[in-house]
Amino acid sequence: MVRDQDLYAPGLKRMKRHNGRVDLYWVADEKVVAKGYLPKTVRLFGVWPSSELASRCAILQAEMLEWASGREPSRNSAPMGTLEQICRAFETDVDSPFHDKRQDTRTFYSRYIRSIVDKAGAYYLSEIVGRDVRRWHKEWVAELGVRGGYACIQTLRRVVNYGCELRNPKAIELAAVLEKTEFPMPKARKRRPTYDQIVSLRLAAHEAGRPSIALAVTLQFELGLRQKDVIGEWTRPTEADRARITGAITDGAWVWSWGLTWNHIDAGMVLSKPTSKSNGNETAEHDLKHYPDLLAELPARGVGPVLIDERSNLPWRRSHFSRTFRKIARAAGWPDEVWNMDSRAGAVSESFEAGAQATDIMKAATHTQMSTTMLYNRGSVVQSSRVAALWAARRKSTERS
């Protein structure tokens, strides 16, 4: 029996009516609602306690927090000449390149802009020198980690470059300072899942009643697809844009896009999927008949999205997918240092280890530069051992001759 205290249902409210009936609602945080978040409440149907209702509350709560983390300021009221003022201009100006980016990218920028403003927003651009930025970088690294600290620096450069576009003379001076000020880049990731770990995760996913997780990870590992190109993403367009959207999968104000649908797989089992990273300019193409593990996970042909959250019967939400994946990965014995995004690196690394041509691997991964493909290649020991074996064979051949 499922007990109330065993379930996590953030935002759940129970309203007892005069006739004794209890209605269930998810209620958004008042502070976030005050900043413009909608919906304020969502009626829930079912009997509490239940894992389905708890899951729905968790999804709604995650959507609210994701919106809050990426909320764009409605106006720029910061003092002229300050770093905060140029940060807010980057986020709010109609012609800023900020608005040309995908929602995930805008959320990423806004997250680190908040760190910049909190740390140094009151500084005037004319006052900032390189040692100030070095000091902030050290503090950001201590607070956010090496990658977070570097992300703050890169975001600061983007913001100041926008100030240059506005012909702000102090921004132009600061951009020259930042160009001459070097910061250590985070080390490239070296972790990636092995085939045995993928198999273990698939089994754990099925045991948890989540075959869609098994399929998602298999698609990423076997085909080198990105998570977004598998499960898609939910975005919240403006009211005007939302009114123009027809024929899409929607959930209230949210619209789903970029995920894998059955239209991407033809009758001959050839997958052709435009990639989100390239905004659809590159297409991942694979003959699925060559991937028996993938065919074993692929459900019967249907209509619409290939991967559906088993609880909501809608495409996965990114945050909910991540939490569910990590829970299953731990059950499968994956260390927390191996991430779902590393499955794509696993695909590239296994291809190199199998002896595939580098140009073929680059094409399969839909990379436009070999340097990008090599960043995903994390199988150095196997590959260096193969080089050593070739050397040994050549030396023996030379000795015989």
333-362 per-residue burial string, b: 16 or more CB within 10 A, e: under 16:
ebeeebbbebbbbbbbbbbbbeeeeeeebb
pLDDT at 362: 59
pLDDT at 43: 85
Q: Which residues neighbour 198 within 8 Å (Cβ) at sequence distance 6 or greater?
A: 217, 218, 221, 343, 346
CB atoms within 10 A of CB 283: 13
Determine contact, residues 64/31, Cβ cutoff 8 Å.
no
pLDDT at 357: 64
Determine contact, residues 231/273, Cβ cutoff 8 Å.
no
Taking each helix axis from N to C terminus, what angle separates 195-207 and 318-331, rounded to the nearest 10 degrees? Answer: 110
Residue range 146-192, pLDDT digits in tens:
989 999 999 999 999 999 999 999 999 999 999 999 998 887 777 77
pLDDT at 326: 93
CA angle 355, 226, 299 (to 5 degrees): 95
Please report, for the chain, the start and end positions of each structural domain, with discontinuous segments joined by +: 4-62, 83-180, 206-385
pLDDT at 307: 95
pLDDT at 2: 46
List of the chain residues with pLDDT < 50: 1-2, 72-74, 381-382, 384
**Which fold would CATH assign to domain 206-385?**
hpI Integrase; Chain A (1.10.443)
103 vs 82: CA distance, rounded Å? 26
pLDDT at 241: 73
Name residue, tokens 């980016």. 101
Question: How far is residue 13 from each of residues 3, 16, 42, 56, 321, measured CA to CA in Å?
Answer: 16, 10, 10, 13, 24
pLDDT at 351: 62
**Which fold would CATH assign to domain 83-180?**
DNA polymerase; domain 1 (1.10.150)
Whole-structure pTM over 0.85, yes or no? Answer: no
219 vs 225: CA distance, rounded Å? 6
